[in-house]
Chains A and B, each alone.
Chain A
């Protein structure tokens, strides 16, 4: 049933995109008047038409194959893995909090919370692991590979990142890097 609903939603979404979102800005006059150019909407519209046909056939196939299947019902939709849904929410949330919280807090929280979600019961060990890995990844990417990891926009988080950076800079100058 989940597969059928996804396919139907995809079909409706593509139909909507075909009419409203393929072109979101006017085609330049010179391009529109030139008969020898491929207009910017032709390629995506051709793909959408093919997709609409293929997905319609797929929906028909799903219904035909499951016509006599007793498990093919809306009730089966609720047999879901709660942990997996929490995992998805955690990953999406981490991508949104990376900017305000910065790398340090986000990394620590992801390591700790996802560790708990995956069944780690030694909380103290997990806390130490999260702190150590946060710093190891920081050193590899920020110090060795010069990737400017986000500092965070919340003042406290930003100040903490700047504090860590100042310590790293002191250590680097002390060892002559």
Chain B
């Protein structure tokens, strides 16, 4: 079957009113799940599974794909309005989304988040349909040293996050990397840095730490002698509006770059939307003409993160459909559901059951378009919450943080970690450290160490051999330049002055 036939067949499938209705229902469910803190994209897909038991294979695929894509987008709503990333991949969205919301530009921030999510999703869907076999082969040839180099490139943002405070940002990033070491080591399961606490043996769960540092710290900062948010801080009158064509045109290359990087990262097994969004945010900070504005509330930061995490959803579908290898946790849940429905995932899918590939593609395209409309409506409902006085809203955020942390693993220990992370977040802020850098280190730390360790063993403890591969070598050189350049340029500037 040719690509064009796959394309037309896919949309033919979606013309069925029942299937189309399923897509709309899935978008509503997925966006709400994604917006709720503690309900990750994986959990959203898992919660959507029971709905598919009585469905035919095609509506089931369409439903799960729509839940998956929209849950990633839904995470940006609470990230922008409340500084609570609904899903971990929305964490970089808080860096610029929340400052914009505080300036009374929540509508514009949501508009750019939803628009760029749709663009990222559409590009990756097209890549999935046209380049599945080639992209999968390329991604599978990546070795641990290549993946380490990619994550190290994500870490190279550290010296750029706050150019006036490079040392403190570096300390924050290193603290994040150290926190990622808590628990059993990824290769030999040796217990480290748990201080005898059995609750830390499994390591620090990402969601509670994210919720604590972003949401709880924010409520603690607001715990002062006042009740209502001041007029300019309140987003009660959020009217989601798309940025102008001129603004879109201004970030066209950013959207293109992040769509491509997000799709490629999504294809890599074990990577996924979170790494994609952090990596694209860091890349765009480096490439921007005004890197100092990142983190202060600019549309570039939101667009980079949201384009990338949605592009990663399409990327994750590539190895799942063409090789039967799930790119991430959500894809693994989806895989089990599709196998139950009799779908033959792998190279034979295109030969024996091409209709399923068409349905997945069409579902992704329609979801990414309809999602913008549905998410605008849902964002308006969420924004109304901000109209209530802070003495009501603050406690609700704390309770959402508690339930969100607990719901991840049904663990009280995670709630305690969230509470402590909230207090640590406040101390970090008082010491002028950078919480975004700490989270970056924590998110990338586990992948960084695991892949470094594997690459070290494969290269027989020879660091030169380890980075002699073209991808790893090139990326490491670029990363080191990006990491050291801001420090050197600051030193040169001081000497000049």
Contact = CB atoms under 8 A, between A and B. Distances in A.
A71 to B, nearest CB: 15
A55 B396 CA distance: 37
A159 interface: no
Contact of B175 (A2, A37, A51, A115): A51
Contacts of A50: 174
5 contacts: A47-B177, A87-B219, A88-B426, A115-B395, A149-B403
Interface string B225-236: 111000000000
Given A6-B427, A21-B195, A40-B188, A147 B457 contact: no
B419 A87 contact: no
Given A22-B192, A92-B420, A51 B178 contact: yes
B193 A54 contact: no
Contacts of A119: 225-227, 391
A95 interface: yes
Contacts, number: 188
* Residue of B223, B398, B453 contacting most chain A CB atoms (<10 Å): B223
A30 B177 CA distance: 27
A64 B47 CA distance: 56
Contacts of B188: 27-28, 31, 37, 40
Contacts of A175: none
Contact of A118 (B390, B403, B461): B390
Max count, chain B CB within 10 A of own CB: residue among A26, A27, A54, A87: A87
B452 interface: yes
A104 to B, nearest CB: 12
A58 interface: yes
A68 to B, nearest CB: 19
Given A24-B192, A38-B457, A114-B398, A83 B224 contact: yes
Contacts of A84: 220, 223-224, 426
A177 interface: no
Contacts of B216: 91
Contact of B174 (A54, A61, A87): A54
Contacts of A103: 403
Contacts of A3: 430-432
A98 interface: yes
Interface of A: 2-3, 6-7, 17, 21-28, 31, 35-38, 40-41, 43-44, 47-48, 50-51, 54-55, 57-58, 61, 81, 83-84, 86-88, 91-92, 94-96, 98-99, 103, 106-107, 110-112, 114-115, 117-120, 126, 129-130, 133, 137, 140-141, 145-150
B431 A118 contact: no
A55 B171 contact: yes
B185 to A, nearest CB: 4
Contact of A120 (B190, B391, B406): B391
Given A88-B423, A110-B399, A120-B391, A40 B187 contact: yes
A83 B195 CA distance: 31
B185 A98 contact: no
B456 A37 contact: yes
Interface string B425-461: 0110011100000000000000001001100110011
A15 B226 CA distance: 41
Contacts of B422: 88, 91
Contacts of A94: 398, 402, 419
Nearest to A25: B191
Given A3-B432, A84-B220, A118-B223, A147 B407 contact: yes
Contacts of A21: 192-195
Nearest to A142: B403
Nearest to B44: A145
B272 interface: no
Interface string B6-42: 0000000000000000000000000001001001000
A48 B178 contact: yes
A6 to B, nearest CB: 5
B282 to A, nearest CB: 19
Nearest to A138: B403
B383 interface: no
A95 B402 contact: yes
Contact of A43 (B47, B418, B427, B452): B452
B394 interface: yes
Interface string B180-223: 01000101101111111000000000000000000010011011
Best-surrounded residue of A81, A99, A137, A145 (most CB of chain B within 10 A) = A145
Given A23-B190, A24-B196, A98-B415, A2 B47 contact: no
Contacts of A55: 171
B178 A2 contact: no
Contact of A87 (B220, B406, B410): B220
A172 to B, nearest CB: 15
B488 interface: no
B456 A38 contact: yes
A129 B196 CA distance: 41
B168 interface: yes
Interface in B138-191: 167-168, 170-171, 174-175, 177-178, 181, 185, 187-188, 190-191
A83 B396 contact: no
A130 B392 CA distance: 9
A36 B223 contact: no
Nearest to B405: A95
B174 A92 contact: no
Among all A-B residue pairs, the 6 with the closest Cβ atoms = A120-B391, A118-B391, A40-B185, A95-B419, A114-B395, A87-B223
A17 B192 CA distance: 10
B192 A114 contact: no
A17 B194 CA distance: 10
Contacts of A7: 431
B83 to A, nearest CB: 16
A26 B391 CA distance: 51
A110 B171 contact: no
A98 B449 CA distance: 34
Given A54-B174, A57-B167, A94-B419, 6 more contacts: A6-B427, A17-B193, A51-B174, A58-B167, A98-B415, A147-B407
Contacts of A26: 190
